[in-house]
Structure 1
Amino acid sequence: MRVKLLILIVLVNYRSSFGQTLSCNYTISATNGYQCSLTIQNPNGLNNFTSINGTHLAGKTDSDVLYITRSSGSTTNVPSIICDRFQNLTTIKLGSSNIQNIDEKAFKNCKNLKSLTLSGNKISKIDENAFVENLELLYITLNVNQLTQVSENLFRNQHNLNELRLCSSPLPDLPKNIFNSLQMLNILHLESNKLKDLRAEWFLPLINLKTLLLQNNVIEELPRNIFISLKNLTSLTMNSNKLKVIHSDSFRGAPNLKTIGFQSNQISAIDEKFIDATGVQILDMQGNTCANQLINDNSTTRVTMRTELQNCFKNFDDLLLERVRRLEEAEISFNDIIQGVREQNQQLTLTVDELNNKVTNMTSENDKIRSEMQNITKDNQEMRENLETKIEDLTKENADQNAIIKDQVKQFEQFRNATEEAFKRQEEALKNLENELLIWTTRPCSCI
């Protein structure tokens, strides 16, 4: 039975791994060096490979392979044998491979990896330790996948990262500290996700960021001071969002911003100070309600930009005036509310005074009742003491009477005992007399 079971297990393993292969076509490229064009047939996502097929070019070994790219086939994971075999890899490109998850061992032994491309897959999960050993990474491309969340610690060891493409996935949000280690980042792609709100914590560590792409999200507002630490930012693209109003305070701390794309939003108002807060030279406002044109401004034509945005500025001023009017109305309403509150307070004060009078009266009555209760308590105490004295007297009298009764009972007992003894003696005397009489009556008479 055990032999049959063992054979069955071997057959199952053989069938599941049959056709699961990895093979390299080795070539030398002027730009990429010694490389492997990988054919990967691993639809079941196995990770127990012991070899990679293919013949090295003369004089070359696994340690010479610097670049690997998928040429055909698919896999649902990244077999760890790739980095186990080719530990000097600097570039991995496994795009459009049907990959669904990345585990912590996938790139563990690729410690020299500088560029990683995993675009066009179906990745929905990346282990937070997937890149922990890849300290030399400069470029990570994760676009066009199915990510809905990523770990806050995913990029914690990528201190040298230059460009990150985390775009074209249904990401609704990101952890606030996800970019904390990316001080050297120059380019950040977050476009074509589902982002609605921007977090200031994302951008605070990115002191060297130059290009930020946020187009094709659902962002409705640029919070004030959102770019406060991005002093090196030169290009911002936010086309195809849902922005409505542009405040100058949003761009405080970004004086070198030259190119801004606001195309196809819902912008109807812009704070004129926005131009002074940035170094904007190219501003794309096409598809918005207050300006439908590309504004090209080359250092000396900022006056033209101001002229072309007059409608936007006016709308912003009108918006401010409307806000001021609403604030005034709100203030009037607030004053009315305050007056009403004061009147209510006066009424409450009267009510409180009445309640205080009632409480005073009730307190006086309670004092009277308390005094009466004290008198009653005193009388009760005296009555109790009198009763206790009478009870003691009666108890004493009862004790004396009990003693007398006991003496009388004792005397009666003695009298009864004496009477019984006399009665016994009388009975004995009577019995003796009867005996003597009997003798006399039976004696014969003597005749004289």
Structure 2
Amino acid sequence: MKFDTVVLGGGMVGVSVAVHLQQRGLRVALVDRKAPGNETSLGNAGLIQREGVYPYALPRDPATLLRYARNRSLDVRYHPRALPKALPFLYRYWYHSRADRHAAIARSYATLIEHCVSEHRALVEASGAHALLRPGGWLKVFRSARAQQAELRAAGQWRDEYGVAFESLDAAQLRHDEPSLSHALIGALRYTDAHSVSDPNALVTAYARYFEKLGGRVLTGDATTLQPHWSVETELGRIDAQSAVIALGPWSDVLTARLGYALPLAVKRGYHMHYAARDGARLNQPVLDAEIGYLIAPMARGIRLTTGAEVAYRDAPATPVQLDAIEPIARQTFPLGQRLDQEAWLGRRPCTPDMMPIIGPANRHKDLWFAFGHAHHGLTLGPITGRLLAEMMVGDVPIVDPSPFRAERFSS
């Protein structure tokens, strides 16, 4: 059982890396403890965010920070016990969120975002997953003219800087496009170049099946057993590979720390629940209620309600207080029926303090590569990350400059 590469992690990023390496003629094993797409990639909003050129920053204005500190906000909550350990990371996140630093980050980040839809479409075409992809964008809806004007100004800036396409909808147009939404909403902004997915888990599964069709192997195994140079325990016993890729999402630092790397990785936890729609109501596209802090999206299982961020220890027990708090508001916005899941799903977003993923070679081990830290954009950036890393690994000219995403940026 010898391979050219073993990819550790079966989420959107890991599967995409494995596909692109297999496409380039390498013999690849994809190893995870679960079937592909059954951890973080299972429970997101299903957005491929072509507009997401500015990664999600930490607010810096005192009023918002004070609101968060009170721990009653609908969009951000924290576990008090986890806060002391999280504060150094949050400070660095706050530091990088200053407007000029955030703009500099966007100049690098946008090089990945630019290719997110086209790279997904290429894998959708190859894997035959057309039915899962939904073009036409998504909506950010507003309850006040002030919030709507602020978003229009930001969208105009993104359009001028990075070609982000959008359209503004007044109340009448919004009611025409989404007649089941509350009439209390005064309008919306649609990011038209973005796509969405009706079942993120099914999309990862489709890409994984395509990987197997190309000759790749999907194996159940324990990534933490990775040993230089390079082997890992799987259902078939210990397998060997010339190179290894760590794409374990929020668990990546467990393995990188064991190998001697001090990479600043934290998690933002989030929850979702599926609902039936009442009275024949229909939702045509994902809708973000930006002023409250939740998103509803039409999914194969029903209407998925997703929460904002929870700062907590990665593996602490679930505390879906945000979901319980926003559900009554979401029911007023869209006629949600009964819950379809027995319990809320809990996911973990792997985050770096400068809001950019870590993509590229490890600097202390030969033939070890990193692909993690995509925060809210793991689904969005999986395929372009896979292409970029595969090009680096086989010596091709990379599609974008990889230097901003290297792990060395965090070296002291």
TM-score norm. by structure 1 comes to 0.16
Between structure 1 and structure 2, the one with the greater Rg is: 1
Q: TM-score, normalised by structure 2?
A: 0.17
**Greater percentage in strand:** 2
